[in-house]
């Protein structure tokens, strides 16, 4: 039986392991894995008669495909929490997820992990991609987040409860949490996702609950991670033995040392905050939400610089799936943000987006590196991401995506389309008061609009008033769904 070969010649090879790029190197792929790489590699190494393809990569960079450890395929580019939970049927949500998976792959992301989503759509999508029925990145998936009352995903009043379509499931005692983990494992998840407080304002799980859930998950042979934005829950999660931590926006020195000493990787997931804070205005994001995100981002920058100095391993994650983080558009921007907010070099940022993230997709040492023996998930980039990391954000610069040693062919016409979003049922964006109809001045004047909606605009000025921030943002989200 002959093998199929792919030869990439004369490239600058960035290995994803943090080593200096190798110039004028060639890379040989045998079937699905990398056979050899270096300046010594040539066409002569391919046995005569075996089929092979050759790509001239002169002036190009060859690097591992990106790995995004925080990608929510079931969110469908939602504009509100209600759209995420309520306004789409599971059937349609599944089709949307499959449609959007090809966009993620096209952008150069060859592996993702979905840390939470509605139903078991992520598990199904993972299987469909694995069997090549759906075009998309290789994938691991959690089920619904496990949360507590007042924690992330418990958005609605108790009179409503947590709807069936929610991305989360709420339990307030350990027994049903344990029960849920067993069911999720039975249903094929790769990892358990816990959700602590939304904005890091309090620790919602007890230390004992975290420990018991981590222990059971590990006993069942799965991984566990947690949405933890505040110092106390990050520290508790590290002590409980979570496999990696999501966010870590606010961390005191003690928490940073605990994280560094344990070797637990951190996936900061800066993109959602940065897109909302810096560009939210372009898409009608409420001003107080934008300001709140900006303040959280600034605190995150402080925490991450200390974490980096202490030697914490950082990983690429984007929270793609919201309307401000659409699929296949901004994944590589996280690398730029890791440079800005954590002080990484471009080579370190690439490492965060490749080899450091292999653990989250269950393929440590097998993907995320250009090294003989590794799975050949590769990118040919027209440009030098080490000199300018932003080149990876340009669709046309991602010239070729190679998955398991094969050049992926995309339906570019389909990729240019977007699935229409399903908005909430809104009657107006502001109240129809007497003044709006008969009153002074122009009713569309932005200042009037702001005044009319003032009750929902009271965000605290100081980030330490986080509980108020949460309720204010939740209030804003309720009114924001009409945007
Ligand atoms: Zn997320």
User: What does the pLDDT look like over 248-300, one tens digit per residue?
Assistant: 999 999 999 999 999 999 999 999 999 999 999 999 899 999 999 999 999 99
Instruction: Find the helix or strand (DSSP H, E) in which 240 lies.
Output: helix 231-240
Average pLDDT (128-148) is 98
> Which domains are seen in the chain, by residue range?
66-363 (3.20.20.140), 434-480 (no CATH)
pTM of the model: 0.90
Task: Mark out the alpha helices in 67-189 (DSSP H runs).
Answer: 81-85, 90-106, 121-130, 174-186
Lowest-pLDDT range, 137-141, 145-149, 384-388, 460-464?
460-464
User: What does the angle CA 374 – CA 347 – CA 388 come to, to the nearest 5 degrees?
Assistant: 120
Q: With bands split at pLDDT 50, 70 and 90, how would you rate the model's confidence at 433?
A: confident
CA of 257 to the centre of ligand 1 (A): 25
Give the per-residue pLDDT at 309.
98
Give the per-residue pLDDT at 202.
96
Q: With bands split at pLDDT 50, 70 and 90, how would you rate the model's confidence at 437?
A: confident
Model confidence pLDDT, tens digit, residues 20-41: 999 999 999 999 999 999 999 9
Give the per-residue pLDDT at 470.
47
- Cα-based distances in Å from 347 to 18, 211, 232: 6, 35, 31
Q: With bands split at pLDDT 50, 70 and 90, how would you rate the model's confidence at 135?
A: very high
Average per-residue pLDDT for the chain: 92
Give the per-residue pLDDT at 88.
86
| Total Cβ atoms within 10 A of residue 369 | 23
- Cα-based distances in Å from 48 to 6, 35, 74, 455: 14, 16, 47, 75
Residue 354 contacts residue 315 (beta carbons within 8 Å): no
CA of 196 to the centre of ligand 1 (A): 12
CA of 246 to the centre of ligand 1 (A): 8
Provide the angle, in degrees to the nearest 10, between the axes of the packed helices 333-342 and 271-279.
Answer: 90
CA of 345 to the centre of ligand 1 (A): 25
Average pLDDT (350-372) is 98
Residue 103 contacts residue 418 (beta carbons within 8 Å): no
CA of 63 to the centre of ligand 1 (A): 26
Cα separation, 9 vs 38, in Å, equals: 10
Give the per-residue pLDDT at 458.
43
As given in the structure block, the two tokens for residue 479 are: 């009114």
> Which residues are CB-contacts of 481 (< 8 A; sequence separation ≥ 6)?
79, 80, 82, 83, 423, 424, 426
pLDDT at 121 over 90: yes
Model confidence pLDDT, tens digit, residues 224-253: 999 999 999 999 999 999 999 999 999 999
pLDDT at 459 over 60: no
CA of 71 to the centre of ligand 1 (A): 7
Cα dihedral 98, 99, 105, 106 in deg (nearest 10): 170
CA of 50 to the centre of ligand 1 (A): 45
Residue 434 or residue 177, greater confidence: 177
Strand ranges in 251-381 using DSSP code E only, listed in sequence order:
266-267, 378-381
> Which residues are CB-contacts of 20 (< 8 A; sequence separation ≥ 6)?
347
Average pLDDT (306-326) is 97
CA of 49 to the centre of ligand 1 (A): 49
Residue 176 contacts residue 99 (beta carbons within 8 Å): no
């Amino acid at each position: 039986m002959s093998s199929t070969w792919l030869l990439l010649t004369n490239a600058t090879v960035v290995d994803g392991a943090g080593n200096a790029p190798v110039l004028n190197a060639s890379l040989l792929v045998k079937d699905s894995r990398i056979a050899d790489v270096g300046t010594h590699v040539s066409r002569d190494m391919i046995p005569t008669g075996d089929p092979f393809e050759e790509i001239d990569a002169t002036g190009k960079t060859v690097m591992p495909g990106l790995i995004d450890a925080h990608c929510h395929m079931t969110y469908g580019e939602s504009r509100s929490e209600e759209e995420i939970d309520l306004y789409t049927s599971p059937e349609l949500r599944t089709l949307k997820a499959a449609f959007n998976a090809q966009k993620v792959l096209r952008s150069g992301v060859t592996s993702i992990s979905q840390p939470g989503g509605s139903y078991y759509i992520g598990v199904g999508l993972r299987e469909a991609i694995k069997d090549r029925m759906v075009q998309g990145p290789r994938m691991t998936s959690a089920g619904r987040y496990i949360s507590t009352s007042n924690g992330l995903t418990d958005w609605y009043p108790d009179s409503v409860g947590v709807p069936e379509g929610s991305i989360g499931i709420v339990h307030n005692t350990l027994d049903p949490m344990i029960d849920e983990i067993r069911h999720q494992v039975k249903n094929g998840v790769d990892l358990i996702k816990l959700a602590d407080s939304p904005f890091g304002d309090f620790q919602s799980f007890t230390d004992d609950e975290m420990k018991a859930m981590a222990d059971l998950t590990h006993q069942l042979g799965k991984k566990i991670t947690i949405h933890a934005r505040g110092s106390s829950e990050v520290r508790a999660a590290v002590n409980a033995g979570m496999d990696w931590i999501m966010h870590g926006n606010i961390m005191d020195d003690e928490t940073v040392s605990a994280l560094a000493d344990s070797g637990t990787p951190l996936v900061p997931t800066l993109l959602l905050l940065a897109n909302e804070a810096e560009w939210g205005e372009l898409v009608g994001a409420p001003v107080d939400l934008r300001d709140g995100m900006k303040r959280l981002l600034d605190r995150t920058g402080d925490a991450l610089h200390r974490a980096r100095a202490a030697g914490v391993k950082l990983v690429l994650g984007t929270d793609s799936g919201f309307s401000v983080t659409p699929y296949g558009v901004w994944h590589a921007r996280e690398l730029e943000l890791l440079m800005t907010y954590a002080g990484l070099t471009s080579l370190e940022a690439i490492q965060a987006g490749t080899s450091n993230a292999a653990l989250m997709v269950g393929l440590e040492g097998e993907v995320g590196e250009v090294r003989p023996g590794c799975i050949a998930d590769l990118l040919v980039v027209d440009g030098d991401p080490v000199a300018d990391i932003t080149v990876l954000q340009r669709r046309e610069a991602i010239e070729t995506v190679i998955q398991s040693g094969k050049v992926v062919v995309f339906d570019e016409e389909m990729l240019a389309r977007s699935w229409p979003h399903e908005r909430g049922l809104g009657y107006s964006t502001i109240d129809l008061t007497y003044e709006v109809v008969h009153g002074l001045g122009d009713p569309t004047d932005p200042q009037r609009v702001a005044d009319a909606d003032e009750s929902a605009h009271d965000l605290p000025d100081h980030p330490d008033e986080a509980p108020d921030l949460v309720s204010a943002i939740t209030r804003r989200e309720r009114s924001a769904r009409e945007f």
